[in-house]
Structure 1
Amino acid sequence: MAEQIIKRLIDDIDGGEAEETVQFSLDGVPYEIDLSSTNAKKVRDSLAPFVEHARKAGGGAAGGRRRRSRAASSRERSADIRAWAKARGIKVNERGRIPATVVEEYERAH
């Protein structure tokens, strides 16, 4: 017996076909939304002026105070990267080190 499972993304705004899952964070709360390429572009274009003047949070020693412990932050970041990669069809293991190339792609996208 064969089984075929089809995963289809639906645009959370207009109900049409979605091509990608857009992830963002506001006030420390992470969000993700499935969007068509047109709606994803609208989100990115509307945030562009803010992103242009913003700085990346966390990272190095000059990153300011941390709201979460380093270990919790690292686990959450890894989970975010894995979810982002899977939404784009990039194969990543559920556990262990995430390949540097995937992390670099994630950082470029965010």
Structure 2
Amino acid sequence: MAQKVQTILVSDLSGTELGEDGQTVKFGFLGVDYEIDLSQEEADDFANTIQKYVEAGRRVGGRRQTDAASSAKRAPSQTKAIKSWLDEQNIDYPKRGRLPQNLIDQWEQAHRS
């Protein structure tokens, strides 16, 4: 007998089911590591809020991500959001394979506050 296990991601903020729009965000604060499940909109808001602290802070551990590592760790919903934004901006991009880093950088720049 075969079994199929399905995990449904639910926003830790709103309590709504996230479907493909969800992602788990990991972060640390005061020496404690956290994970939170967020929608793409909530994750973007989190990233925009914390960005000024990240830019002003000093890196104390972990590895810098290479382009390949960062794209491999990018949530499918984030890639979907980037492609959606590129379509809205009428920016051409490869429909298969990795997105070029310059396009990802454009999206990140457009979504910073």
TM-score, structure 2 as length reference:
0.49
Extract structure 1 runs of 4+ deviating beyond 4 A. Answer: none
RMSD: 1.9
Residue 10 of structure 2 is matched in structure 1 by 10
CA distances 1:44-95 after superposition (whole Å, capped 9, x unpaired): 1100111111111136xxxxxxxxxxxxxxxxxxxxxxxxx6xx59xxxxxx
Identity between Structure 1 and Structure 2 (%)? 37
1:28-107 pair list within 5 angstroms: 28-58=31-61
Q: Which gives a bigger RCO, structure 1 or 2 (Cα 8 Å, sep 6+)?
A: 2
TM-score, structure 1 as length reference:
0.51
Q: Distance in 1 between matches of 2:27 and 2:7?
A: 22
Which runs of no fewer than 5 residues in structure 1 stay unpaired? 60-84, 90-110
- How many Å apart are 1:16 and its aligned residue? 1.4
Which runs of no fewer than 5 residues in structure 2 stay unpaired? 63-72, 77-113
What is the SS of the residue equivalent to 1:31? strand
- How many Å apart are 1:39 and its aligned residue? 0.5
